[in-house]
Structure 1
Amino acid sequence: LIAEYEEDMVKYADDADKSNIRECFESIPKQLAKENKKFQYSIVKKGGRSSQYIGSIQWLEDAGIVRRCYNTQITELPLEGNSIKECFKVYTTDIGILMAMLDYGTQADILKGNLLGYKGAIFENLMADFLCKSGQKLYYFHKDSGLELDFLVRFKGECVILEVKAKSGKTKSMSTVLKNKDVYHVKNAIKLGQYNVGREGDILTIPLYMGFLVEDKLAEVIIPDVDLSLLTTI
């Protein structure tokens, strides 16, 4: 699978760009392995600069292989208007691409729960896959203080936090934002992981496999305002 993608890069890209495109593409697993998943050109190649590689990322995005997820200045709509164009993460548009780029046997490790620290990157990319396939752009929020939200989406006409957990657990940054509504102007969040459909205060919990349903135009149909306390299983 990966060989075919790289063959296409060689076939269709300009000669001067081929090596840079391949280097950007091959750096994606390393970029997502970092705690701060912001795309760094120095990870592509020591001493790498934006001027050297930004066109290669654009080529990969235009080819439909990757999608940039932009950091936002504030947690408010419109997300595109508040995005920081030089600060972004890079996800593959199809989770199968990322899985094929990892070590042989990773698929079996997923089933056995042996991914340890890298599982967060895989599950985030899976959510990015869901959002890309529904035609949505990708945004996240990060501050130098360490506060970071996996994704921000427009949902039911509001800016809503989208947090992805490989299993379940606390999300400190999300809790901080929801407790300070006068500062961040976010009232609700959706948390995906090993959950049943339910609600924890301002947080809607749903199982990860339902992530493809998080789409604003379907919000009223897919997740209506019902008494979620009645839903104990899917």
Structure 2
Amino acid sequence: MFRNIMNNLATWYEIGENKAALIRGGKFVGKTWAALDFATGFFDEHILIDLEQYPDFCQYISKERKPEKLHAKLTTSLDKYDFQGKLLIFDNVQLSTMAVPNLVEYAKVSSGVRICMLATVNGMLPGEAECQDDLFVYELTPMTFDEFLKAGKGRKLWKYIENQRLEGLPEEVRASVDTMLDAFLVTGGMPEAVNAYYKNENFEEVDGILQKTLDKMTEYIVKVTPKKLLTKVMLIWNSIPVQLTKENKKFMYGYVDPKARAREYESSVDHLVRIGVVRQVYRVKHGILPLAEQVDEKSFEIYHLDHGLLRIMAGIHYYDIDQTNIVDTMDGMIAEQYAMEELYANKNIGRLFFWISSATAKVDFVYEGDGEVVPVDVQTEPHTKAQSSKVFKQRYNNATSIRISTDDMYMNNGLLNVPLYGIWNF
């Protein structure tokens, strides 16, 4: 299946000689698969070095910065001595404290050898900032709807959406797009589940794969979590569906443990975010620039990594879903989770936040647009007014608001309606 990151890696291949590449992302989103697919298409040979399987080298690379010594240790560890013309893929570099800057130094002096690193992590790795000029960094998320379309029979539909501007799709095209979107809302963006869907369109099989993925993700959390945090981390992890389906979606420690206090659980939340299994969206106190200075660090939401996994975690199987209104599953929470993923992956949109008025108005997401703060409401019912964005506009006088809904694309008095199927394309 084609992933959009292939275009990025092709650019690195063309202009990034003697510079390393780093692919960051959540667990099971396809980082290793993408790197190997890229290697097959662009190199005659490649070598995959999983640092989890080479503990001696993993420890060594955290301390040794000299490229010649790294090379000697690597050749000894792999029992290979000629790397010329090869792509070296270092997996799980998050396990080695200073792997990134040290491998960047190795790439700078190793002509004819290309270095690609993979990390299961959310955010920057140690030493990454100091070598930005010699490093191409990419983030891989679960598959987006445009990737889902391009992975199978939806390529022509993808082209229709890409060419769409402020007008609706032809009726027959819209019907097909809605069918594919419904399938994606059920399947989610985990590559293994998407691949299973396109093989035979059997959603029971998809549910089985999602359950296995969720089980493996839980095992991964247990494996990488310090024992002193494990109980609290698992309580938070298991509370995610409840957190997202309550009316006030702000994260409440009381839903984790009635006696919980924020200071006792903060490090556990940070850990789940860091290891790439959830996303954290902070509240901003005011809708003014710069948003980073308006963050209320005590008020946030936790989203799952993927809407398909969230559905399974909530115990909702394919046969439980109202097939006439899939977007309203979990009272619209699947659609909001999906919208968050699409917005997060959209390169035209920066960091996401949310906003709550002193009364009851809640804007699902806000971000910094062209010199202003842009509020985003997610609606699962057609022709619904974006009331929260109106409250936001009255207070902050922003020129542009966005409503994500089941309606087609249109613009009206500063309100841009973005269809659920087209979040990746605006």
Provide the TM-score with structure 2 as the length reference.
0.47
Q: Distance in 2 between matches of 1:92 and 1:50?
A: 20
Amino acid at match of 2:363: L
**Does 2:244 match 1:32?**
yes
CA distance in 1, matches of 2:316, 2:249: 23
2:342 corresponds to 1:130: yes
Q: How far is 1:114 from its partner?
A: 6.5
Which residue among 172, 176, 199 is the counterpart of 2:391? 176
Q: Specify which of 23, 45, 55 is matched with residue 235 of structure 2.
A: 23
Alignment of 1:40-59 (within 5 A): 40-59=252-271
Amino acid at match of 1:171: A
Contact map agreement 2:245 2:330 (CA 8 A) in 1: yes
Quickly say closer, same or farther: Cα 1:39–1:200, change in 2 above 3 A: same
Give, in whole Å, the separation in 1 of the partners of 2:216 and 2:345: 21
Give distance in 1, aligned partners of 2:339 and 2:316: 23
Question: Cα 1:106–1:115, aligned 2, differ >3 Å: closer, same or farther?
Answer: farther
Change in CA separation of 1:164 and 1:146 when aligned onto 2, cut-off 3 Å: same
Q: 2:241 touches 2:314 (CA, 8 Å); kept in 1? A: yes
Q: Distance in 1 between matches of 2:414 and 2:346?
A: 25
Contact 1:152 1:160 in 2 (8 A): yes
Partner of 1:74: 286
151-160 vs 70-79, which moves further: 151-160
Structure 1 vs Structure 2 CA RMSD: 2.0
Q: Secondary structure at the match of 1:111?
A: coil
Change (3 A) 1:163 1:112: same
SS in 1 for 2:398: coil
Cα deviation digits, residues 172-230 of structure 1 (max 9, x gap): 2212233x2xx3132211111111111121201121111123xxxxxxxx4xxxxxxxx
**Higher Cα Rg, which structure:** 2
Partner of 1:148: 362
Give how far 1:115 is off. 7.5
Q: 1:117 & 1:171 partners in 2: Cα distance?
A: 20
2:186 maps to what in 1? none
Q: Which residue of 2 aligns with 1:207?
A: 419
Post-superposition Cα deviations, 1:79-112, rounded to whole Å, max 9, x if no partner, equal: 1111111101111132222122122425751533
Q: Partner amino acid for 2:356?
A: H
Which deviations, in whole Å up to 9, do the C-alpha atoms of 1:143-194 show, x marking residues without a partner? 231121111012233211111111321222212233x2xx313221111111
Q: Which amino acid aligns with 1:122?
A: I
Note if contact 1:99-1:107 (Cα within 8 Å) is conserved in structure 2. Answer: no
Matches within 5 A, 1:65-104: 65-104=277-316
Give aligned-pair identity as a percent.
25
Which one of 1, 8, 11 corresponds to residue 223 of structure 2?
11
How many Å apart are 1:118 and its aligned residue? 2.6
Q: Is the 8 A contact 2:327 2:335 kept in 1?
A: no
Distance 1:82 1:163 in 2: 20
Question: For this pair of structures, how many residues does the alignment match?
Answer: 211
Give the Cα separation in 2 of the matches to 1:122 and 1:110: 13
Deviation at 1:132, TM superposition (A): 2.7
In structure 2, the residue matched to 1:218 is none
Change (3 A) 1:113 1:41: same
CA distance in 1, matches of 2:399, 2:214: 41
- Distance, in Å, in 2 between the alignment partners of 1:46 and 1:108 is 30
Which AA in structure 2 matches 1:149?
A: V
- Distance between the aligned counterparts of 2:268 and 2:319, measured in 1? 29
- Which stretch has the larger CA shift, 93-102 or 21-30? 93-102
Whether the aligned pair in 2 keeps the contact of 1:76 and 1:186 (CA below 8 Å) is no
Q: Secondary structure at the match of 1:71?
A: strand
Q: Partner of 2:273: helix, strand, or coil?
A: helix
Task: Name structure 1 gaps, 5 residues minimum.
Answer: 214-221, 223-234
1 CA distance for matches of 2:317 and 2:293?
Answer: 42
Question: Structure 1's 149 and 66: CA in aligned 2 closer, same or farther, altered over 3 A?
Answer: same
